[in-house]
Chains A and B, each alone.
Chain A
Amino acid sequence: GAVVSQHPSWVICKSGTSVKIECRSLDFQATTMFWYRQFPKQSLMLMATSNEGSKATYEQGVEKDKFLINHASLTLSTLTVTSAHPEDSSFYICSASNFRLNTEAFFGQGTRLTVV
């Protein structure tokens, strides 16, 4: 299957700092990228959807000024957690797809963020 690379796989940061997570589709053009968050023992929760070249669409309850998403190219999307707090500690996963081709979503490996 297609490869989506997410980096870093884990990060520890101090409260108040910002963290950037990258999501790259390595062998296909991702027209759409999704960012999810997963708290322990809970399901994946969609945070936002971004289409290449346009602003991300955020799910209800997700602060767009706190979780900055950039999808500048067909192979790269970034999520920046600004002014991180301990409650932002979570598992963040991106997925990429080319739904014009009706393909499934391919997931990155996930980033485990711990804010101390």
Chain B
Amino acid sequence: RKEVEQDPGPFNVPEGATVAFNCTYSNSASQSFFWYRQDCRKEPKLLMSVYSSGNEDGRFTAQLNRASQYISLLIRDSKLSDSATYLCVVNGGLGSGGYQKVTFGTGTKLQVIP
């Protein structure tokens, strides 16, 4: 099982639709979770952190389910500008050798269609 798994997509949705991304992780000791957005040929940019209580930022809602070991991102009222690849990132805490183990999902590509 991969440490972090995402549906690669692509998700093609019409403008105004609601779209949900899920991401599962295998390390139950993982400490922090993030969603990043990556536009084509650009660096990933933090979209939002994911808190245990769930958090919302405008049209974006992120949730964490520790029992089932998954995080989700919901985008409401999709805009054309939301078209990008969405990466979930899991910080698994200290790995062997004392370094932080940060793992990216492979990303889910979203294409919002006019």
Spell out A's residues near B (CB within 8 Å). Answer: 1, 6, 32, 34, 36, 42-44, 46, 49-51, 57, 91, 93, 97, 99, 102, 104-110, 112
| Known contacts A1-B46, A104-B46, A43 near B106 by CB under 8 Å | yes
Q: Which residue from B97, B98, B104 sits with its C-beta under 8 Å from A44?
A: B104
Q: Which residue from B34, B42, B97, B107 sits with its C-beta under 8 Å from A104?
A: B34
10 interchain residue pairs of minimum CB distance: A43-B106, A107-B43, A49-B99, A110-B43, A99-B100, A44-B104, A57-B97, A57-B99, A32-B100, A104-B34
Residues of A within 8 Å of B104, CB to CB, are 36, 43-44, 46
Contact with A along B84-114 (1 / 0, CB 8 A): 0001010100010111111111110000000
Q: Say yes or no for B31: interface residue by CB 8 A criterion.
A: yes
Residues of B within 8 Å of A46, CB to CB, are 102-104
Q: List 10 A-B contacts (CB under 8 A).
A: A32-B100, A34-B102, A43-B104, A43-B106, A46-B104, A57-B99, A104-B49, A105-B102, A106-B46, A107-B44
Q: Name the residue on B nearest A6 (C-beta).
A: B43
Residues of A within 8 Å of B102, CB to CB, are 34, 46, 49, 97, 105
Residues of B within 8 Å of A110, CB to CB, are 42-43
Q: Are the C-beta atoms of B45 and A107 separated by less than 8 Å?
A: yes
Q: Name the residue on A nearest B34 (C-beta).
A: A104
> How many whole Å from B89's CB to the nearest CB in chain A?
7
Q: Say yes or no for B22: interface residue by CB 8 A criterion.
A: no
> Most chain-B Cβ atoms within 10 A of its Cβ — which of A42, A46, A57?
A57
A32 to B32, CA, bound (A): 15
